[in-house]
Amino acid sequence: MKKQARLVLENGVVFHGAAFGATGKDRTGGEVVFTTSITGYQEILTDPSYAGQIVTMTNPLIGNYGANNDDLESRKPFVSGFIIRELAEEYSNWRSTESISSFLSENNILAIEGIDTRKLVRILRSQGALRGIVTTESVSDKAILDEVQKLPIMTGLDLTKGVTTSEAYEIAGTLANAPHVVVIDYGIKQNILRKLTAHGAKLTVMPSTVTYDEIKDRKPDGIFLSNGPGDPEAVTDGIETVKHLVEGKKYPIFGICLGNQLLSLALGGETYKLKFGHRGANHPVKNLETGKIEITSQNHGFCVNWDTMPDSCELTHLNLNDNTVEGFRHKELPIFAVQYHPEASPGPHESDYLFTQFMQTLA
């Protein structure tokens, strides 16, 4: 007999289902969001950008290829919870080592299955991302709703310190004279590190709280600003460091996702929270310089307000679903960034050129 569970949203809507994963855990709370990705649930679970969030999969059947040790995007899952329509009771894949349920259990992540995820996603699309709690407790819906109302909202939260590396570390390059890139880790995905080294860089990965002087002491050839969770405007120490890097006019800089937002803020722009965010592997983005359309992987809840950006910057990429900012570059300095994930390769590899461009600025 499966253990009963509920999802209680801040608008008072309650969904009933069954618990899996860490079924001995009574409760978990966070911002309830959804992703349209059909596969890649293990990469989603271990993407640090999902910290503080309960992720809903829109694909109805999850878990059919199990879990393995090779598809981790970080050292552990950072989601607060997991919501699916149906759990595959049996899994089959030559690389799998365990079920998704046991993987979640080992990492103390409470999940819920058997709810109407189509209804849930319609609510999130119409009302926006909502706070919620997944619970197995035998208490009233009203009591849980009261606890939901006490959860912090995502706006104003700096979550980078909970996902960044605790100390600096190095990754060797693949070339004899590999350019040296300092990577500021705000919650970096492992595939970004793999892409940078595959394109010939040697890396020094540093914590999100790193200062300009600490970076300068490493004598880098360039700077990479990583993805990460939370509200970019709340990452004040990161903004200050990036501001010094820009003002120094010494290093080429490339940013992805949160890195794009922090770079925008350091240049004097502003960001805002999207209604329900962009999360999935099929978002069309137009490269305004080439006119080509890229099918991209995305995971963000905040966006750059282009009207606030200085004239020294040029818009380079546009989201074709809602015309939001997906990338920009500085007109004079070797600085550029994108909001989507070019390392994720959601089938196409057409965004890989961005890593090539960055390496060319280091030459």
The pLDDT, as a whole number, for residue 91 is: 96
The pLDDT, as a whole number, for residue 236 is: 97
Count of helices and strands (H, E) across the chain: 9, 19
The pLDDT, as a whole number, for residue 174 is: 79
Buried/exposed 326-342: b ≥16 CB within 10 Å, e otherwise:
bbbbbeebbbbbbbbbb
**pTM of the full predicted structure?**
0.96
Residue 341 appears among annotated catalytic residues? yes
Q: Which of 31, 43, 294, 343 is catalytic?
A: 343
* Domains of the chain listed by start with CATH number: 4-148 (3.50.30.20), 160-362 (3.40.50.880)
256-290: per-residue pLDDT in tens?
999 999 999 999 999 999 999 999 999 999 999 99
Q: Which of 199, 278, 283, 341 is catalytic?
A: 341
The pLDDT, as a whole number, for residue 175 is: 79
Q: Give the chain's mean pLDDT.
A: 96
The secondary structure of residue 117, as a DSSP letter, is H
pLDDT at 349 over 90: no
pLDDT at 294 over 80: yes
Q: How many whole angstroms separate alpha carbon 199 and alpha carbon 201? A: 6
Residue 278 appears among annotated catalytic residues? no
Average pLDDT over residues 330-344: 96
Q: Which of 257, 294, 326, 330 is catalytic?
A: 257
Residue 317 appears among annotated catalytic residues? no
pLDDT at 338 over 90: yes
Number of Cβ within a 10 Å radius of residue 26: 15
204-214: per-residue pLDDT in tens?
999 999 999 99
